[in-house]
Amino acid sequence: MDWNTSPKRCVKRTASSRVWYIRKSTGSIVRTTAGAAGVSGGSINATVPAWNKAVPRSGSNLFGNKRKTMIYFDNNDTTPLHPEALEAMLPYFKDKFANPASLHSLGLETESALDEARGKISGAIGADARELIFTSGATEANNIAIFGAARARPSRKHLIISTVEHASVLNVARRLEDDGYRVTRLPVDGQGYVDPALLRDTIDDDTFMVSIVHANHEIGVIQDIRKLAEIAHEKDAWFHTDAAQALGKMPFNVAELGVDLASFNGHKLHGPKGVGGLYVSRRTRPKRLMEGAPQEFDLRPGTENVPAIVGFGRAVEIAVRDLPDVTAHVKPLMKRLAEGLARIPHSHLNGPPPEERLLGNVNVTFLYIEGEAILMHLSNRGICVSSGSACSSKSLTPSTVLTAIGLLHEEAHGAIRFSLSRFNSSDEVETVISKVGEVVDLLRSMTAFVPELHSERMGAKSFYRKR
């Protein structure tokens, strides 16, 4: 495998806690060992608080296997599975494996586990247990919510979303446009906020749904969902929110927000991948998209993924229980990270200021260099982050979220998202600040751009963006 021709493959391996570098003598790519790739040997973590002691902190993974100690700052992409969630899941892989639809004793036992997980999650969001269906993730939940609403309300042909939605919502909207629907994409201000007045001016009697993301996955902007839902209901439109990033990182109650549908994801809050949920209020009834048996209240056919659902339920329970402690732990780390990165010349924060944004999220543009180059160099130094380009689509298309808040393509390409979790430490933040400065200096020393010639066009006068 060649580093230059297969960079994304290397980075993907980095996300799995395997770090690769080029051996200078042969040009071959080999795996690092603990203490290599720019990170000093031994643990880099500070004292672990009592509510966090279940998590391994140094050179071994959850299964006790030795590995390179990584600094993982990509928690808006996915989070490490909480050990307590894993422990809850294990019996349902081996001993309690029956189909929850079966009538024998083992089936009844797994059905009981399914009901218990549903009760935990629905209780956490202030819903009735029969208002929560399990899905494979938030992408499927978004599809069921929007397509299902369109089918349930065929006389209405207007959908309203924002320009900072997740791809699963943006692409559903495009498909509906292909089918003859009108789609309005509400613009946002320089920090990513939707103006409720624009929604009131846009909504009409033909609007079947308004779908606005609660907490954005890239820039951490948190929308006024309660106000937006109130406006939607004035025209009897259903209101859906993609809450994949919100649940577990901030208080979330469907009754207080007034939403009709809300999507969730297990692996965004230290639960397993491949499981999510959709809150469907009693006031609404979207049409099912697939045919099959009547699982999940006849909205989502197919045998439920019991181990993942059990882990999801436990992860939500832990996240809600520990939210005050996690918030008190992560907020100072966010602030320190933003302050440290602000000292790097020609950089600016994308989205709201730290005190207003999603817990753990810091998104910064470093002008005159490519975000993917920064990502690669940080990866080689044992640090996992995300860039502002759609590298997963094998293109250099800049992030639609970053361009929606007014960034030029060059600025969007230079963006890096840092996202922290309960399992990060102050020592890690200091290491990241140092290594980012080192990498930015290195890359700028090799660039043809001259900042003085571009500052008027691209350079931000302040680290923080204006609304």
Catalytic center residues: 391
Angle of helix 7-15 relative to helix 371-380, nearest 10 degrees, comes to 50
How is residue 333 written in tokens? 């780390």
Contact 333, 424 (CB under 8 A): yes
Q: d(Cα 111, Cα 394) in Å, to the nearest integer? A: 42
Largest Cα–Cα distance of the chain, in whole Å?
75
Whole-angstrom Cα distance, residue 216 to residue 350?
A: 12
List, in sequence order, every residue forming a beta bridge with 160; answer none if it has no partner. Answer: 184, 210
> Please, where are the H alpha helices in 218-305?
225-234, 254-257, 295-298
Q: Please give the single-letter amino acid code of residue 158.
A: H
What's the helix, strand, coil split of the chain in %, to 5? Answer: 40, 15, 45
Q: In what order do the strands lie in the sheet with 132-135?
A: 132-135, 276-280, 261-265, 238-242, 207-211, 158-162, 182-186
Q: CB burial class (10 A; 0-12, 13-18, 19+) of residue 383?
A: buried
**Cβ neighbours of residue 10 under 8 Å, at least 6 residues apart?**
1, 3, 20, 29, 376, 379
Residue 244 falls in which region: left (phi positive, over 0), alpha (psi -120 to 50) or beta: alpha
User: Contact, 146 vs 278, CB < 8 A?
Assistant: no
Report d(CA 460, CA 467) in Å as an integer: 13
> What's the rounded Cα separation, in Å, for the pair 7 and 28?
14
Look at the block and give the residue holding tokens 């790097």.
Answer: 344
**Entry field: residues in the chain:** 467
Question: CB of 299 within 8 A of CB of 279?
Answer: no
Cα distances (angstroms) measured from residue 160 to each of 125, 157, 220, 240, 406? 24, 10, 21, 10, 20
